[in-house]
């Protein structure tokens, strides 16, 4: 998972009513078309999230399951 691929600015995402959402940048999963709740909960502390994410991604590559 590349950080740039998964990031969007939700200001440009329209909700059901067609209004623009005014929120900060969140993680966006293009496979599921949903904003990652983990990124939403950690807020501005991205480095810790990215560190944990890198660990889980490397585990997947090595074939390790949680």
Please state, in angstroms and rounded to a whole number, the distance separating the CA atoms of residues 5 and 3. 6
Q: Is the pLDDT of residue 53 over 60?
A: yes
Nearest Cα residue to 8 out of 22, 31, 25: 25
Please state, in angstroms and rounded to a whole number, the distance separating the CA atoms of residues 47 and 7. 14
Q: 8 is written with which tokens?
A: 């969007």
Q: 15 is written with which tokens?
A: 């909700």
Q: 4 is written with which tokens?
A: 């740039």
Provide the residue ranges of all domains of the chain, joining segments of one domain with +: 3-62
Q: Mind listing the pLDDT tens digit for each residue in 26-40?
A: 555 555 555 555 544
Among the ranges given (12-16, 45-49, 52-56), the one the predictor scored with the smallest mean pLDDT: 12-16
């Amino acid at each position: 998972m590349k950080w740039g691929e998964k990031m969007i600015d939700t200001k440009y995402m329209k909700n059901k009513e067609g209004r623009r959402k005014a929120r900060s940048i969140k993680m966006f999963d293009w496979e599921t078309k949903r904003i990652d709740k983990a990124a939403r909960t950690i807020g501005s502390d991205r480095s810790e999230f990215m560190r944990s994410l890198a660990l889980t991604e490397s585990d997947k590559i090595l074939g390790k399951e949680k």
